[in-house]
Amino acid sequence: MKNTILVIGLTLSFLAPNLSISQSKRQKKKNKANTEISTPKKDESKIKAYNEVITKAAITDEGLFKVHKVKENYFFEIPDSLLNKDMLLVSRIAKLPANLGGGYINAGSKTGERIIVWQRFEDKILIKERSYNAVADEALPISISVQSNNYEPTLFAFDIEAFSPDSTAVVVDVTKFYNTDVKVISGLSSRLRESYKVKNLDNSRSFINSMKSFPKNIEVVQDMTYTASEPPSAETAETISLQMNQSMVLLPASPMQKRFADERVGWFTFSQVDYGSEQLKADTKTYIRRWRLEPKDPEAYARGELVEPVKPIVYYLDPATPKALRKYIKEGIELWQGPFETAGFKNAIIAKDPPTKEEDPEFSPEDVRYSVIRYVASETRNAVGPSVSDPRSGEIIESDIIWYHNHLRSYRNRYLLETGAANPSARTLNTPAEEIGEMMKMVIAHEVGHALGLPHNMSASKAYDVESYRDGAFTQEFGIAATIMDYARYNYIAQPGDENIRFIRQIGPYDHYAINWGYRRIPNAYTAEAEKPLLNAWILEKEGDPKYVFGKQSSRFDPTSQTEDIGNDAVLASTYALKNLKYVAAHLPQWTSDQTNDYDDLEELYGELLSCYNRYVNHVATNIGGVEEHLLKPNQNGSFYVATPKPVQEQSMQWLQENAFKTPTWLVDKTMLTNIDYAGYTEGLSRLQNRFLNSLLDFETLGRLLDHETINAENYAALEMLEELRKGIWSETTGSSNVDVFRRNLQRAYVERMGYLMTGDLNPKRSNQYFNVAQSDVRALVRGELNQLKSQVASAAARSVNTVTKYHYKDVLKRVELILDPK
């Protein structure tokens, strides 16, 4: 770059008439110095002979780089041929203290992933972080500007200690890089450092555990001990010790061909800003993340035959996995062989037991060469399916599925609560091992789906009619959702007496469709652009079939894309669900405390029963102000956003009044409550009811209803919703009936929430749907409803009611008056 500047400068000096033709000696000397800096030369005063650095005492490991250990120091011998080559640096936690990160960080958790290159500058070697977020074809002039305006950070600089005997490699001491608190490879984020009051890395208690070099990667294990005032465990030690694994893997010289994403088919994606685009602006292009599957026999594959891939996806089980569970984990992994066969690949994904020391002495779950189902000794109830991918192409290189030990407890509980009414084998704390195994198999399959590139598809359960869930033949064939990637865990619709029902989810038709769309090789399409017509045609082939619809998890406003729901009619599905839940609630002590002579399980399951009730009600509440998001292209029929039909919203409001706002006394079981807690009986239910109420009396909900009126006067209106809500919640005011404590709490919550709507505002950071509340109809409608309420309550207070109800009404009147006239 400096040489280029020099040439341009000299050229300008000859062309400009007002500049001196000759240069001063001082300027010539300066230019000469710049030229010398640009040409790296060996500095004899700093760089030693090879055998002075890599002595006879060195222990050497051959691989990507030669790794030398000389006494306490570690050296990389980096071939010149690997300078400026893209490498992926992946940081993982290998060991950690209890409760770090609140239980959601574990052995195997990835803490960093970045592309790096080793570059030489003068007598130093630099680690530079490289980004492919902004790109342009190198043949285009604008690529120069892309590089200039996206200058890459230097993560570390090393002095060259020596050159290899044949001068084809440089030797650097990497001890300091791995032994100091370099933030990019640390296991402690800024948030964790702040939370635990981390002061510093204690070098005296930190060390490099091991370094191993393999043909395509280098694995470094380091122990890092930090001084911390408030550590997550062992508080008096004021110490956090981590063992980190740093993987550095050489990326393929030829990146995998990218495939364009299409939001109509769900995939994890990455984006690049292409400055070389022919559009009149920088063009953001989005691609999918997937494994590189190439057929061993391309000709047979092109003929439509099933062909094994050159390199299958292999998952190893964690050596810590209980042997009784290994069968189910392996089956869960290999369930994906079916969808891959749809994409033309045989034995594309394989599960293996962990190798013994004799079979593979180098095996480590943290090694980036191995994809592992990590079994984590943690009380956390969860499972996750992260992966590591090449940022240049989206090629998934490796993934670790995390299974937390206590997760099966959640599935046992949900199995009992959601299916116990219709499923006798679920009515126990000792669920049959085969059924537990089936649940685990499907959870593993779900997480592997993520690791293959598939996100959640929350519309898949809407593909099936509610009544189909009561049909044994249907459920055995199709399961409970069109994909295992939906959060549809159990069939909570089937009723007592329904026969041959499948209660647990399974792989569905959408899984075959999505894997084929993302992984099938397209003959003679040698660019991502060339693939687009056929990819689009595959989508259009399935148009109109709900089994192949993708629904985003982020669509909080879309009642057809909800988490944990099943069936195409939330009102009917939740009606069936509550029938079942009432049966379970009535029998819960019989299935738990009566068997164990202990109340712990009863308390735990009652709390989760309330969560089930909350989910079933929310599935209906989302219909109010709902907007269905139809992921369509302009050449397809229909609108992208469609308001939930008015009859559905009206029916949902009636259902909520009956099942959420009218006191669900069946949840207030005296026998249970008085044996699991000494107080809080009313508050627990009130919190749930308030949550439902707040979701309706919400600026976003009201804003959508107001918008819907402008689109179509026949849509459900904000005023209609507010009127129906008021009439239902204050139904006692139309007669002389007394108001029970639950309803009094609910009515006060209603007044409080209406007060919030009169004074609060939308938070633009929380909501994409921002509008000027003060200039909208919201406050006018709320004020009108509060005035209506005043009249209702005043009339009711004058009628024959008990003293508590009368006091309640007078208190409500005062609260409403203060909202309408705060002065």
> Confidence band (pLDDT; 50, 70, 90) for 146?
low
Q: What would the mean pLDDT of 12-23 be, rounded to a whole number?
A: 39
What confidence category does residue 699 fall into, taking pLDDT thresholds of 50, 70 and 90?
Answer: very high
Domain extent listing, the chain:
2-38, 50-250
pLDDT at 14 over 70: no
Among 68-77, 228-237, 346-355, whose mean pLDDT is lowest? Answer: 228-237
- Rounded to two decimals, the pTM is 0.88
How many residues belong to the chain? 823
User: Has residue 548 got a pLDDT over 90?
Assistant: yes
What pLDDT does 183 receive?
A: 87
Residues 6+ apart with CB under 8 A from 761: 699, 773, 774
Quick: pLDDT tens for 365-406. 878 888 999 887 777 777 777 888 999 999 999 998 888 777
pLDDT at 32: 42
**In this structure, are residues 457 and 519 in contact, taking their beta carbons and an 8 Å threshold?**
no
**Distance of alpha carbon 696 from alpha carbon 693, whole angstroms:** 5
Please report which confidence band the pLDDT of residue 780 belongs to, taking 50, 70 and 90 as the band edges.
very high
| Model pLDDT, residue 36 | 40
The residue ranking higher by pLDDT, 292 or 401, is 292
Least confident span in 403-412, 538-547, 632-641 = 403-412
Three-class DSSP category at 771? coil
Q: What is the pLDDT of residue 375?
A: 83
pLDDT, position 44: 52
Q: What is the full DSSP assignment across 70-108?
A: ETTEEEEEEEGGGTT--EEEEEEEEE--TTGGGGT--TT
DSSP string, 631-650: ---TTSSS-SEEEPPHHHHH
Q: Which candidate, 572, 562, 543, 550, places its Cα nearest to that of 468? A: 572
Greatest mean pLDDT among 30-44, 104-118, 355-369, 586-600: 586-600
What is the pLDDT, as a whole number, of residue 494?
98
Task: Calculate Rg over the CA atoms of the chain.
Answer: 33
Q: Which sign does the torsion angle of CA 795, 796, 801, 802 carry?
A: negative
Q: If you average pLDDT over every residue of the chain, what do you get?
A: 89
> What number is the average pLDDT over the span 313-325?
92
pLDDT reported for residue 25? 42
What pLDDT is attached to residue 350?
97
Q: How far apart are CA 474 and CA 468, in angstroms?
A: 6
What is the C-alpha separation between 643 and 654, in angstroms, rounded? 19
Counting Cα atoms < 13 Å in the Cβ hemisphere of 155 gives 22
Any residues with CB less than 8 A from the CB of 784 and at least 6 apart, and which?
none
pLDDT in tens, 79-129: 999 999 999 999 988 888 888 888 778 887 888 899 999 999 999 999 999
Cα distance between residue 679 and residue 52, in whole Å: 76
Produce one character per residue of 804-822: b if its CB has 16 or more CB atoms within 10 Å, e if not.
ebbebbeebbebbeebeee
pLDDT in tens, 519-545: 999 989 999 999 999 999 999 999 999
171 beta partners: 77, 162
Bridge partners of 172, per DSSP, are 76, 160
Token digits of residue 311: 């390199």
Cα(733)–Cα(4) distance, integer angstroms: 86
Output b/e per residue, 131-142; b: 16+ Cβ within 10 A: ebeebbeeeeee
The more confidently predicted of residues 401 and 470 is 470
Would you state the pLDDT for residue 10?
Answer: 36
pLDDT at 43: 52
Is there a contact between 506 and 534 (Cβ–Cβ < 8 Å)? no
Q: Residue 356 burial (CB < 10 Å; 0-12/13-18/19+)?
A: exposed
Q: Who's near 543: CB < 8 A, 6+ residues apart?
A: 636
Question: What pLDDT, on the 0 to 100 scale, is given for residue 767?
Answer: 66
Show Cβ contacts of residue 434 under 8 Å, excluding neighbours closer than 6 positions: none
pLDDT in tens, 130-145: 988 777 777 777 777 7
Residue 678 pLDDT more than 80? yes
Which amino acid would we find at residue 139? A
What's 113-129 look like in SS3?
Answer: EEEEEEEEECCEEEEEE
Residue type for 408, please?
L
In the predicted model, is pLDDT for residue 597 greater than 50? yes
User: Which of 208, 215, 151, 159 has the alpha carbon at shortest distance from 185?
Assistant: 208
Question: Which amino acid, residue 536?
Answer: N
* pLDDT tens per residue, range 261-288: 999 999 999 998 877 777 767 788 899 9
The per-residue pLDDT for 17 is 41
Give the pLDDT score at 484: 97
pLDDT in tens, 57-71: 999 999 999 999 999
Residue owning tokens 């549809």: 488
Residue 464's closest CA among 418, 506, 415, 411? Answer: 506
